[in-house]
Amino acid sequence: MEEPLPPQSTGNLSDYPREYREFTWHTIEWEFDWCRGGPYNVAAEAVDRHARQRPDKVAIHSVRASGEVQSLTFADVSRSSSKFADGLSRLGVRKGDRVFVYLDRRSELFISIIGIAKMGAVACPLFSALGPEAVKDRLLDGAPSAIITSPYLYERISSVLKEASPAPLVVCVGEGCPANAVPYPQLIGSGSPDFVTVSMRPDEPYIIHYTSGSTGKPKGVMLPHRAMLQQLAGAKYVADLREDDVLWCTADPGWVTGTSMGIFGPWYLGSTIVSFEGRFDARAWYSLIDRFKVSVWFTAPTALRMLMRAGDEVAREFDLTSLRHICSAGEPLNPHVVRWGMEVLKRRIHDNWWQTETGAPCIANFPCMPIKPGSMGKALPGVVAAVVDENGLELPPGKEGFLALRPGWPSMMVGIWNNVTRYREYFYIPGWYSSGDQAYRDEDGYFWFLGRADDVIKTSGERLGPFEVESALIEHPAVAESAVVGKPDELRGEIVKAFIVLRQGIAPSDRLKEEITNFVRVRLAYYAYPREIEFVEALPKTRSGKIMRRVLKAKEGGHETGDLSMLED
């Protein structure tokens, strides 16, 4: 194992062992206004209190695909979201109703989500790249009373909206709205800026995030207002945010990272956020960091690998010295990417683990502790994490098993919309929430991801996680991306098969396959190298960038691929 990277600063969490030992969730409650008589509502804490205390502080720099920037203060967001909430209430939307937000990343998306929470309704943000069938699945399941969208997105889903019963109210953002829609300016104009934010119970949901499953339809994960406790802790200890920071979270608000750590977490602390509507482009991304002096960057391994692929010289064209802290989440962070961060960005990249169902970070590499490249880090103070067997017994260091959490952390989902049975399946291991991930914990308490339980390969009597092999593969100079699955084999049960995307300018060949195979063979255990390699143009990924290994595995085994609504075009 390579040498850990030493801390570059202590950060907001200066003494992890002491904080983890002494921390209780009650200690963080006093950072919220509801402890002093304010309404219990994520919108009140994220926006309204800052509108009173620091009204002229910029809340968001919203960058359109054209490059146009709209900068809004906390007072702007508070006033607009109140008018939005009141306007929607006047049109018949009530507390507890689901309201879909199907928009590109523009300021109206953020105002809508805050406004929906203010009125006690439940926001359901949908990634704007979703197609009609994907929206239809969510529409028929969530039965929204309203949908906030734009003209071109309305055209995309107009046919499926007719299948909803009752048909949702349509609010349209932008020029050229259909005749049956309420224009967004009209909605805002009809509402009062003095709308009183509704006080909610801690266990009432404020958002539903739809996440795809390996089988069946997407499931609507409900997160409660009390999630604010852990989202604040995540922003403070994992993202290491302070009030004067500028944060850019590259995740779309259609995903949990884009709301929990991209909107609510930083806004609880009064930090400024950056939003970018455009598609990935290395120069555009680096220029945003340079232009807005981004100090905390929350992104994903896929994005970082794409930046690596663009070349180190591109990064050197921009002034990135404002960057103080970098986080990565969504899938495991390869050691090679961690080393690249130190060499090119001159910063450690801090991997952290959580899921839509957990609502906020649960395991992380904190600024105050050494980073072991490839590890998820340690449990967030207040979260009890362990590696257990199928009976719920904790396993000793080095022994692989199921990554599990003790139920009761504040941001834990409160249900799956319309599906109690599916919700209960997460708690089949006695006394634990089962994440569905396989992992082990080392002697120092660091957690190491092996793969989804369904992705673990059983070859020649040994169990192997795909992440270890994929990380070894991308160390090869010809390999840009890789995905590893188990392929059925009569002799070994399964063999390791690798799907590889080559770097630009490199041609596939049998000789290169042999070279890559030998490259991995000398680095890993005797059974862990790929016995079969297939070069591909692209890997199947979700729209948030996660590799969909189950699609590759299903095709190799001749099985159904399950829900594909989150698959990239």
- pLDDT score for 569: 53
List helix spans (H) across 143-274.
Answer: 151-161, 184-190, 228-233, 256, 265-268
Residue 309 pLDDT exceeds 90: no
- pLDDT score for 442: 97
pLDDT bin (cut points 50, 70, 90) of residue 228 is very high
Provide the mean pLDDT of the chain: 92
Rounded to the nearest 5°, which phi and psi values hold at 437? -100, 150
pLDDT bin (cut points 50, 70, 90) of residue 204 is very high
Domains with residue ranges and CATH for the chain: 16-440 (3.40.50.12780), 454-557 (3.30.300.30)
- pLDDT score for 194: 97
Residue 568 pLDDT exceeds 60: no
Convert 57-101 into a string of H (helix), E (strand) and C (coil).
CEEEEEECCCCCEEEEEHHHHHHHHHHHHHHHHHCCCCCCCEEEE
- pLDDT score for 541: 82
pLDDT bin (cut points 50, 70, 90) of residue 527 is confident
Share of the chain above pLDDT 70, in %: 95
The conformation of residue 5, written as its DSSP 8-state character, comes to B
Rounded to an integer, the average pLDDT of 476-484 is 92
Under 8 Å CB-to-CB from 182, ≥6 apart: which residues? 91, 169, 170, 171, 172
Least confident piece of the model among 370-374, 404-408, 442-446, 451-455: 451-455
Residue 557 pLDDT exceeds 90: no
pTM of the model: 0.87
pLDDT in tens, 254-275: 999 999 999 999 999 999 999 9
Going across the sheet that includes 98-102, the strands are 182-183, 169-172, 146-149, 98-102, 122-126, 205-211, 219-224, 415-416
- pLDDT score for 78: 98
Q: For the residues of 353-394, what is the DSSP string, one character each?
A: E--GGG-S--EE--TTS-B-TT--BEEPTT--EEEE-TTSPB
Residue 95 pLDDT exceeds 60: yes
pLDDT in tens, 164-194: 888 999 999 999 999 999 999 999 999 999 9
Under 8 Å CB-to-CB from 499, ≥6 apart: which residues? 482, 483, 484, 485, 533, 534, 536, 539, 552
- pLDDT score for 63: 98
pLDDT in tens, 317-349: 999 999 999 999 988 898 999 999 999 999 999
Strand partners, 147: 100, 170
Residue predicted with more confidence, 302 or 483 = 483
- pLDDT score for 217: 76
The SS3 call for residue 316 is coil
Rounded to an integer, the average pLDDT of 551-558 is 78
Residue 497 pLDDT exceeds 60: yes
Residue 131 pLDDT exceeds 90: no
Residue 307 pLDDT exceeds 60: yes
Residue 564 pLDDT exceeds 70: no
